[in-house]
């Protein structure tokens, strides 16, 4: 729940940012066009206009993109960013809980310090989440245009 609340102001998780209208912080307009063509050629998924596409429909497509990248042995950087994101997300949550418990014991300075540390971990989680989203699509874009089944 905390993760959902944290990403909500930014338009959702970074892997969903490609469907946002307007300036895209993950991919350029040209990369979005290439992504649409690559989806058609590699995965037989026809998405004419990615920008504005429904988030609930995009989620399984992004999972399929990751599966294709992983199948082709290109997921190492993506997994590294995902692991760092998860680590910092967990540390942020833990220090936030510790700050709340410490505040309930009226140790205000310690609670404030723990809250500040949780903000540092939160900003690092944000950064690695964005790196994950960008790397997922970039790794997919550099794969050959041959359909995923044809590559062995």
Domain positions in the chain: 2-141
| Crossing angle for the helix pair 29-43 and 108-141, to the nearest 10 degrees | 60
pLDDT, position 60: 95
Predicted confidence (pLDDT) at residue 148 exceeds the cutoff of 80: no
Question: Is 112 within 8 Å of 96 (Cβ atoms)?
Answer: no
Q: Which of 82, 90, 83 is nearest to 121 (CA)?
A: 90
pLDDT, position 24: 82
pLDDT, position 110: 97
Rounded-to-integer distance, Cα 87 and Cα 140, Å: 24
pLDDT digits (tens, 9 = 90+) for 25-53: 899 989 999 999 999 999 999 998 899 99
Predicted confidence (pLDDT) at residue 149 exceeds the cutoff of 80: no
pLDDT digits (tens, 9 = 90+) for 43-90: 999 998 899 999 999 999 999 999 999 999 999 999 999 999 999 999
pLDDT, position 35: 95
pLDDT digits (tens, 9 = 90+) for 107-126: 999 999 999 999 999 999 99
Question: Which tokens hold the place of 141?
Answer: 């874009």
Q: Which of 34, 11, 5 is nearest to 133 (CA)?
A: 11
Q: Which of 31, 46, 135, 47 is nearest to 83 (CA)?
A: 135
Confidence of residue 140 (pLDDT cuts 50, 70, 90): very high
Query: Which one-letter DSSP state was computed for residue 21?
Result: S
């Amino acid at each position: 729940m905390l993760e959902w609340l944290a990403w909500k102001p930014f338009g959702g998780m970074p892997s969903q940012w490609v469907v946002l209208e307007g300036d895209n912080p993950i991919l350029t307009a040209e990369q979005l066009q290439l992504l649409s063509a690559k989806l058609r050629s590699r995965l037989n998924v026809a998405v004419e206009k990615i920008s504005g596409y429904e988030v609930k429909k995009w989620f399984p497509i992004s999972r399929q993109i990751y599966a294709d990248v992983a199948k082709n042995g290109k997921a190492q950087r993506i997994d590294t960013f995902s692991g760092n994101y998860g680590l910092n997300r967990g540390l942020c949550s833990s220090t936030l809980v510790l700050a709340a418990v410490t505040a309930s014991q009226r140790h205000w300075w310690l609670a404030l310090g723990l809250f500040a540390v949780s903000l540092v971990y939160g900003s690092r989680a944000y950064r690695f989440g964005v790196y994950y989203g960008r790397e997922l699509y970039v790794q997919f874009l550099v794969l050959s245009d041959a359909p995923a089944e044809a590559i062995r």
